[in-house]
Chain A
């Protein structure tokens, strides 16, 4: 189902670029009536603004969309879409693991950066010990301030790296959900 967004886009483009045959073939890959119907409706909304291209394209589109609808209905009758139980998925091991992993990663880092960030104004407001020179004439306050920049850059980079792993886990969950509807 993750693919759907891509297909929605493709549907729009296909109508405009008259590259329909490929789309129809691609669509056959997607299972379930709901999935195809969604692309179909998005195609319809897409034509609302490409109608100006002339009657010919309009005609072609409706033939195309009817074929799609018929195909989708046929496919639906043969292979009805499973109702997905979302509660069950949120209770599933893999989803719980994803949320646990995210929490374990984000919460300590957040506490760290909030403390680190507020430490600077607190220390400069209530104490003066950071005003002592550290390197040459440069005092600790400046080093602390520069460290905030480095912290932001490092944490952003680390998160972006780590999020690739979360993305994989999320894709797994979506896949399980589509295959089994049970999500284990």
Chain B
């Protein structure tokens, strides 16, 4: 292994471990472990949200997709950004006011029952683990390509690191690793974008001219239609992108880590500026990659262009810059997977262990120990899964998580918060219909059923790669019908007090734990 790479990697690893050591001293209660005692400021939390959200798929994937497919790659990025408007307008403040540690808390503020909490926890676990596996697999492949160490070793390194952060440092360590990642990612890519511009004498027309020369698409590069040529598929993807974020548990639990709703809004405002700025930079890098590295070179090592950003760095600044960008990609991955580990941990140890198995009766010490062990096992489980799935194409799980989140968590959250006549049956049927419909559609879709290298070699029953346009309405419909048909009033907190709490933050007549 090259010494420059090694130095950069050691630097990142040591830095994050110091953060964890410092955070471990502030993770001595469950409150600190799960939500960093609500002590982050809005700006810090916004940076952490961006760090949680911009995955390796976004950083390397979007740069690569833009470099290869031109405009359509950029279209992807827009959905990721605009989705924050839904979070901010409808979800963020009520979720902060109603919940304590998990999404289960939010729904159980209105429908307090073990069944409801269990289903919310299972949903959060499924989403977090489904999202984590492709991240880990991609990380393994990437680090293997960049550093020339084998796949298992790289997955193990990342798995061990993320587990250490969460087990010892809880939400504090996770947040600060994410903040450091955001700063590194933004400054590193911004620097790279400046170098790209300087190569073209700061002239955008020069850059664009070179892009059309570098891409085999030529003049067509800047026009839509290269990646998405099926209108239904395009709309379906965009529906899942814009609605998915508002149902992702690992993003929503970050709304508990600040003091009040003012800070919640500030967090989301900061996050939307950072994420937007980042995608604009990614656009420049994508263009720069085609213009300076050239198409043939980009698809040589990876046909999807995932290595566009590191290759661009190499052509601009040699080994040193490439090592820097590789180190940033590495930080990006560990920050995202750490966020997913803590969200899965909360779902299991807070909702399932503490509330359901122990009926809310156990000492603080035991709760904390349970949380740390859960984090350890979740880290272990997902690392093993990622090691086992190395030869499978699992990238579709990323788009799947957005669809599952948008079709199960989102309808239940929206109806619970805003609809007076919603009831527990509706919430349960909404979760279940969203989850099952999206999973069934996935198995009937071309990711799994594909004559060309799918798990089942047959023509797909549902020819949509992104079945969001069917699954999301199915989730909403399931929730609606469940509520209308059952008229079930059991386990319901009076709507007036719940609604007041959701809208104004006043404490309702229920104990929150």
On B, residues with C-beta under 8 Å from A are 28-29, 38, 71, 74-75, 78-79, 81-82, 84-85, 88-90, 93, 204-205, 208-209, 222-225, 228, 231, 234-235, 238, 242, 260-262, 265-266, 268-269, 272-273, 276, 279-280, 363-365, 368, 494, 496-497, 499-500, 503-509
How far is B279's CA from A45's CA once the two chains are assembled, in angstroms?
45
User: A interface, by DSSP: helix, strand, loop or mixed?
Assistant: helix
| Inter-subunit contact A87/B503 (CB<8 Å) | no
> Do A49 and B29 touch (CB < 8 A)?
yes
A interface residues, how many (CB within 8 angstroms)? 56
Nearest B residue (CB) for A148: B78
Contact A152/B500 with A48-B365, A160-B269 known, Cβ cut-off 8 Å? no
Cβ distance A60 to chain B, nearest Cβ, rounded Å: 19
Judge if A86 is at the interface, Cβ distance under 8 Å: yes
Report which of B28, B29, B89 forms a contact with A109, defined as CB distance below 8 A: B89
Evaluate contact between B496 and A125: CB separation under 8 angstroms. Answer: no
In the complex, what residue of chain B is closest to A124 when comparing beta carbons?
B224
Cβ–Cβ contact A174 & B84, under 8 A: no
| Residue of A with least CB distance to B212 | A137
Q: Give A158 Cβ to nearest chain B Cβ, in Å.
A: 10
Assembly CA distance A163 to B97 (angstroms) = 15
**Chain A: CB-nearest residue to B494:** A86
Is A125 within 8 A of B235, CB to CB? yes
Residues of B within 8 A of A165 (CB): none
A-side contacts of B79, CB under 8 Å: 117
CB atoms of B224 and A152 under 8 A apart = no
Binds B, one of A25-33, A62-70, A138-146: A138-146
What are 10 of the A-B contact pairs (CB < 8 Å)? A86-B497, A95-B503, A98-B503, A114-B242, A121-B234, A148-B81, A149-B78, A152-B276, A156-B84, A160-B265
Q: A98–B209 Cα gap in the complex (Å)?
A: 54
- The distance from the CB of A170 to the nearest CB of chain B, in whole angstroms, is 4
Q: Does A39 contact B (CB under 8 A)?
A: no
Q: Find chain A residues with CB under 8 A from B509 CB.
A: 86
Name A2's contact: one of B38, B235, B506 (CB within 8 Å): B506
| Docked complex Cα distance between A131 and B70 (Å) | 13
Are B365 and A149 closer than 8 Å at their CB atoms? no
Give the distance to chain B from A143, nearest Cβ to Cβ, in Å: 11
Q: A2-B505, A121-B75, A149-B280 are in contact. Are A48 and B500 (CB under 8 A)?
A: no
**Which residue of the partner chain, among B29, B238, B272, B499, contacts A153 with CB atoms under 8 Å?**
B272
A90:B82 contact, CB within 8 angstroms: no
Per a CB cutoff under 8 Å, which of B84, B223, B235, B273 touches A139?
Answer: B223
Q: Given A124-B75, A149-B276, A160-B265, verify A90-B224 contact (CB < 8 Å).
A: no
Q: Are A89 and B496 in contact (CB under 8 A)?
A: yes
Bits for A1-15, please: 1 = Cβ < 8 Å to B, else 0.
Answer: 110110001000000
Chain A residues whose CB sits within 8 angstroms of the CB of B90 once the complex forms: 106, 110
A120/B276 in contact, CB under 8 A: no
B363 proximity list for chain A (CB < 8 A): 48
Q: Mark A45-57, 1 if CB is under 8 A from B, else 0.
A: 1001100000000
**Which residues of chain A are within 8 angstroms of B265 by Cβ–Cβ distance?**
159-160, 163
Q: Is the interface of B mostly helix, strand, loop or mixed?
A: helix
Pick the contact of A125 from B89, B205, B234 — CB < 8 Å? B234
CB-nearest residue of chain A to B273 = A153
Chain A, 80-118, contact with B by CB distance < 8 Å: what is the 0/1 string?
000000110110000100110010001001100110011
> Considering the chains assembled together, what is the distance between the CA atoms of A106 and B81 in angstroms?
18
Query: In the assembly, what is the distance between CA of A24 and CA of B245, in Å?
Result: 44
Q: How far is the CA of A130 from the CA of B269 in the complex (A)?
A: 30
Tell me, rounded to whole Å, the shortest Cβ–Cβ distance linking B62 to chain A.
Answer: 13
Whether B74 lies near A89 (C-beta < 8 A) is no
A5 to B272 CA separation, bound complex (whole angstroms): 28
Q: Do residues A173 and B85 form an inter-chain contact, with CB atoms below 8 A? A: no
Residues of A within 8 A of B279 (CB): 149
CB-nearest residue of chain B to A83: B509
Chain B residues whose C-beta falls within 8 Å of the C-beta of A180 in the assembled complex: none
**Chain A residues, CB < 8 A from B235:** 118, 121-122, 125
Given contacts A124-B71, A167-B261, A170-B505, 5 further A-B contacts (CB under 8 A): A89-B500, A98-B503, A153-B276, A160-B265, A163-B93
Residues in A with CB closer than 8 Å to B228 are: 121, 124-125
Q: Find the A residue at minimum CB distance from B74.
A: A145
Known A-B contacts A49-B28, A139-B223, A142-B222; the reply to A4 vs B269 at CB < 8 A is no
Given contacts A49-B364, A89-B500, A120-B75, contact A139 B29 (CB under 8 A): no
- Which residues of B are found within 8 Å of A120, using beta-carbon distances? 75, 78
Query: A170–B503 contact, CB under 8 A?
Result: yes
In whole angstroms, what is the CA distance A125 to B238 when docked?
12
Q: Is the CB of A90 within 8 A of B234?
A: no
User: CA A125 – CA B93 in complex, angstroms?
Assistant: 35
Cβ of B364 and Cβ of A45 under 8 Å apart?
yes
* B504 pairs with A159, CB closer than 8 A: no
**Contact between A137 and B208 (Cβ–Cβ < 8 Å)?**
yes
Residues of chain A lying within 8 A (CB to CB) of residue B261: 163, 167
Q: Are A117 and B500 in contact (CB under 8 A)?
A: no
The answer to whether B85 and A145 touch across the interface, beta carbons within 8 angstroms, is no
With a cutoff of 8 Å between Cβ atoms, the chain B residues found around residue A153 in the complex are 272-273, 276
Contacts of B242 in A (CB 8 A): 114, 117
> Please, which residue of chain B has its CB at the minimum distance from the CB of A90?
B496
Residues of A close to B231: CB separation below 8 A: 121-122, 125-126
- Name the B residues within 8 Å of A177 (CB-CB): 506
Does A157 interact with chain B (Cβ within 8 Å)?
yes
B71 contacts across to A, CB distance below 8 A: 124, 141-142, 145
Docked pose: A148 CA to B75 CA in angstroms: 10
> Are A152's CB and B81's CB within 8 A?
yes
* A-side contacts of B93, CB under 8 Å: 163
